[in-house]
Structure 1
Amino acid sequence: MTLTHPAYGQLRTVTPNASVLLADNPGQMTLDGTNTWILKAPESAEYVVVDPGPKDRAHVDAIAEATGGAIALTLITHHHHDHTGGIDRLVDLTGTVVRAKDPTFLRGTEAALADGEVIEAAGLRIEVLGTPGHTTDSVSFVLADGVLSGDTVLGFGTTVLESRPGALADYLASLDRLLAAGDGRPLLPAHGPDHPDLGPVLRYYIEHRHQRLEQVRAALAELGADAGPMAVVRKVYADVDKKLWPAARSSVQAQLDYLRTN
């Protein structure tokens, strides 16, 4: 029987070069859980792992078992603990080298990931695409048969942005870059189901961000130009579970900064 998402702890083939192991860490911010992507060309005896997932012994052990420990390289999309918590156990089990944009998560190398870099491993050509917005260190990985988008684009729902100045401008640019690089290729996100074509999802994301900006503009027209982020959240996200309002506040702060500086 063909596996479908979500399939906890089971290696599910998605494309000829990409399979996924779903960590059993569902939640409001992780959706069904964290997807660990396991990549290799059919002729390769080695693997590339993307995001070892949370600090979950069973999940990391499943990664080691699925790869037979033959991991040429582990790549990190961004620093959040549900993507990086499993790094050290995976290194202990397999000796894998780990590369990330944030040097904190490098293991066995001093080479941080660089935008535009091309990595050749496990018979694959992997292009590194800097896609900040969700976090400053967010990167995506472009393969011939898929785009691994980390948390920049999810399998369903939308992405929380950093509250730092410039986050939304960075994020909109990241969406444009991803669309240009991956239109027509499968979307392989870090949370939620994969999609056969990245294009429609990216276009929805871009439209959604511009709709939210218009909603924030309308809220400011009613509340006053100097309204704070939580006042805007209460207006714009009135129909959203209040447990999600702190995350919404971060995105609204990014939108307010964008509107006040552009």
Structure 2
Amino acid sequence: FMEREYANVHRGTHLLSRKATERFEEAYYVVADFIGAELRKGCVVFTSNTTHAIDLCSHVMADRPGKVVTTEMEHHSNELPHRRRGALLRCRVHDDGTLDLGHLEELLRKHEVKLVCVTAGSNITGVMPDVHKIARMAHDNGALILVDAAQAIARHRLDVKAPDDPEHLDFVAAAGHKAYAPFGAGFLYGPRSVLDQAPPYLPGGGTALAVNAREAEFLGAPDRHHGGTPNIAGIVAMARSLMFLQSIGLDEIRAHEVKLTQQILDGLTKIGGITVYGPPTAAERLGVVSFNIEGVSELIAAAVLSEEGGIAVRSGRFCAHMYMDRLLASPAYKLGGDVVPSGAIRASIGLYNDATDVERLIEFVGKVRARKWVGRYKMKGDEMSAEFAGRCADRWMEATQEGEGYSMGEEIGNPRGYEFEILQPEGGCRSYLIADPETKQAAIVDPLRERVDDYLDLLQAKRYQLVYTIETHTHADHLSGSPRLKDLTGAKMLMHANTHVACVDRGLKDGDIIELGRVKMEVIATPGHTHDSVCLVLPDRVLTGDTLLIGGCGRTDLPTGDSSALFHSLQRLLALPDDTGVFPAHDYDGRRASTLGRERKNNARLKLPTVEEFSGSMKKMNLPMPPNLGEVLNTNQRCL
């Protein structure tokens, strides 16, 4: 559509405008069909989102006599628009979060009510009120019903029923992005007679039939409420998304959701110490599960799940503060531990999820419950910042002040025939970008997990294709970014063949050549710091990982370290020409590079003539251990 038919609608007779208008008009019928509606007595008005749709409903009902009833479980969008236009009543919920229909009946009987507003599915508990039963109750008392279908629209079948059916849903509001469409398009379904009688929601272009100096004659609905140019592409995309869901089948989608949601509920129950809000079985709820972990703030839990598990959850009160506060205070949900939550963590099931995603969620919730996260997290107000203990730890590798090193562009010179960039040049941990400027193929060496988003931005800006991530060894001081880059870009992960890391795509051996377009890198196996250490030789420089540092070398007192092996590995590096640039994986004094000639002259470790002397010197280093060493190694080896 965007390539071949994109134009304004209802504005011209040229071909593109006619094609765009055809697609736009088709969307009315797609939406109506999706919710089981007809468009003679009913009408679909396009909006920008669900909040806009609910506000439009509130607008067209504003001048009618009577009060509006909402419920304690509503999203703010189904509360605040009505609150600003008149008297409001609120139906209670039970302690377990379900709707108190007895109280609703009492409100309808005692008051003149014009509109009952209720969600089709709670965005916190997944509770699904019987909207058709509520519609009958409303109609029996002379009221109409508005259903907020934002959470439910893509999760289970919604049928408004015929206009003369006592259980007919008068108004339905929803948004396309809840149905996997782009943001910015939604709709309100409602009675055509009500929409026609109300004044235009936003008078302007496209809403009037005739305008003179004193008055305006407005079109009927839906056009009278479409002020200005609509989000044409968004509306067309929303229609296509609804058609996509129909092609799968809403019953199939619902069955998929119920199965995975029950897996979450069972898994959380098995962990223990987890408070889950809402019905105990998946068949009674939408595929959203909100919970708290005993003794752990919801902000910290969500941060750990994101930063260490790669799991997107939401935390807080989910724009339904009254409902969340009611649940937190309810005797039905007794919270243990010394941390009093102000909200909850919410996991939601989508079409794209499968059982392995749920297993990962349960695994990491279990880690949070056992306080076995790796990072350090700071909370300030409602904001959480993550500081990985597995991020590059300050000065745990050997570093000396001997040798000033060089900045790029000095004695080492610029790379010949390839692009080369030091990433995090001011940090203690160094990563490197290498690329062929002709083919735009790129590799990142020793990427840091917390900088993955920065790498992606850089690759996009330079229009590079990430072909490889290369790890010079298994890191013990920070979390590797390679697994996440693999998942996000399809790049292959390269490491020494002896590594214990589970997700390596190609095991490297001594003498292997890594080709990156026209750029070639030679692999030198350099065991010592770890058994899987390698260095990468480019035409004018060598990336030495933790084998050779500026003024020092890698330590050998960590798992798989071997001083004798490191001595021999350093001798192999010294066989390279003296003008070869040295680019290590660490430097803590702002030095970006050195040369082999300079290191041969100034590096005390390289001056030790025998294995025995070298090994004795390494035993005296007495360096602090990296924080959370075991957890970091385990995370990197398992590619978590």
Aligned Cα RMSD in Å? 3.4
Q: 1 or 2 for the larger relative contact order (CA 8 Å, sep ≥6)?
A: 1
Shift of 1:42: 3.1
* Aligned equivalents of 1:49, 1:115: Cα separation in 2: 20
Matched, 1:188 2:583: yes
Give 5+ residue unaligned stretches, structure 1. Answer: 7-12, 25-31, 218-228, 248-262
Aligned length: 205
Q: Does 1:152 align with 2:547?
A: yes
Give the aligned partner of residue 606 of structure 2. 206
Matched, 1:67 2:459: yes
Give the Cα separation in 2 of the matches to 1:124 and 1:80.
26
Conserved in 1, the CA contact under 8 Å of 2:530 and 2:560? no
Structure 1 residue 216: Cα displacement: 4.5
**Which letter maps to 2:487?**
D
> Alignment partner for residue 104 of structure 1, among 478, 498, 501?
501
1:166 is displaced (CA, Å) by 8.5
After TM superposition, list the pairs within 5 Å mapping 1:34-45 onto structure 2: 34-45=429-440
Paired residue for 2:422, among 20, 30, 34? 20
- Which piece of structure 1 moves more, 139-148 or 75-84? 75-84
- Measure how far apart 1:146 and its partner are: 0.9
After superposition, the C-alpha distances for 1:207-259 in whole angstroms (9 at most, x for unaligned) are: 15869928949xxxxxxxxxxx9xx74xxx6xxxx7x3558xxxxxxxxxxxx
Equivalent residue for 1:253? none
Q: 1:52 to 1:148 in 2, by over 3 A?
A: same
- Aligned in 2, Cα 1:163/1:73: closer, same or farther, shift over 3 Å? closer
Q: How far apart are residue 179 of structure 1 and its match?
A: 1.3
Match of 1:121 among 516, 530, 540: 516
Contact persistence 2:468–2:494 (CA under 8 A): yes
TM score, norm. by length of structure 1: 0.66
1:124-144 Cα distance to aligned partner (Å, 9 max, x none): 111000011111110000010
Paired residue for 2:471, among 47, 59, 76? Answer: 76
Read off the aligned partner of 1:148 and give its amino acid letter.
Answer: L
AA aligned opposite 1:206: L
Q: CA deviation at 1:71?
A: 0.7
Distance 1:215 1:42, change over 3 A: closer
Supply the distance in 1 between the matched residues of 2:508 and 2:551 (Cα, whole angstroms). 27
> 1:134 — aligned with what?
529
Match of 2:634 in 1: none
SS of 1:15 mapped into structure 2: coil
- In structure 2, do the counterparts of structure 1 residues 63 and 23 end up closer, same or farther at CA, with 3 Å as the change threshold? farther
- Cα distance in 2, alignment partners of residues 181 and 172 from structure 1: 15
Secondary structure of 2:508's counterpart equals coil
* Secondary structure of 2:576 counterpart: helix
- Over 3 Å counting, the alpha-carbon distance change for 1:144 and 1:189 in structure 2 is same
State the one-letter code of the partner of 2:592.
D
Distance 2:487 2:578 in 1: 38
CA shift digits 1:169-211 (9 cap, x unpaired): 2111111111113532111111123335222214523115869
Task: Assess, with a 3 A threshold, how the Cα gap between structure 1 residues 246 and 155 changes in structure 2: closer, same or farther.
Answer: same
Q: Deviations over 1:111-133 (max 9, x none)?
A: 31111111111321110000111
Deviations 1:57-114 (A, max 9, x none): xx1111122222611111110001446521222122211110111152544x3x3111
Q: 1:62 to 1:209 in 2, by over 3 A?
A: farther
- Cα distance in 1 for partners of 2:560, 2:492 equals 33
Counterpart AA for 1:85: S
- Give me the whole-angstrom Cα distance separating, in 2, the residues matched to 1:98 and 1:166: 23
Q: Residue type matched to 1:87 in 2?
A: S
- 8 Å Cα contact 1:45-1:70 kept in structure 2: yes
Question: How far apart, CA to CA, are the structure 2 residues paired with 1:124 and 1:49?
Answer: 14
Contact 1:74-1:99 at 8 Å conserved across structures: yes
**How far off is 1:160 after superposition?**
0.8
Contact 1:100 1:106 (C-alpha < 8 Å) held by counterparts: no
2:564 to 169, 193, 199: 169
Q: In the alignment, residue 104 of structure 1 is paired with which amino acid?
A: V
Q: Distance in 1 between the 2:561 and 2:458 partners?
A: 40
Q: Give the whole-Å Cα distance in 1 for the aligned partners of 2:492 and 2:616.
A: 44
TM-score, structure 2 as length reference: 0.29
**Given the superposition, is the C-alpha separation of residues 87 and 245 from structure 1 closer, same or farther in structure 2, using an over 3 Å criterion?**
closer
Contact 2:508 2:523 in 1 (8 A): yes
Q: 1:83 to 1:19 in 2, by over 3 A?
A: farther
Structure 2 CA distance for partners of 1:65 and 1:20, relative to 1, 3 Å: same
Note the alpha carbon deviations across 1:32-71, whole angstroms, 9 max, x for none.
4211110023323111111112x31xx1111122222611
- Output the CA distance in 1 between the equivalents of 2:414 and 2:624: 34
Residue 5 of structure 1: CA displacement?
6.6
Secondary structure of 2:549's partner?
coil
Counterpart secondary structure, 2:436: coil
Q: Distance in 2 between matches of 1:137 and 1:34?
A: 18
**Paired residue secondary structure (2:437):** coil
**8 Å CA contact retained: 2:529, 2:555:** yes
Q: Which residue of 2 aligns with 1:92?
A: 487
Question: Contact 1:51/1:83 (CA < 8 Å) preserved in 2?
Answer: no
Residues 164 and 81 of structure 1: CA distance in aligned 2, closer, same or farther (over 3 Å):
closer
SS class of match (2:564): helix
Aligned to 2:473, what secondary structure does the other structure show? coil
Q: Given the superposition, is the C-alpha separation of residues 145 and 23 from structure 1 closer, same or farther in structure 2, using an over 3 Å criterion?
A: closer
Match for 2:501: what amino acid?
Answer: T
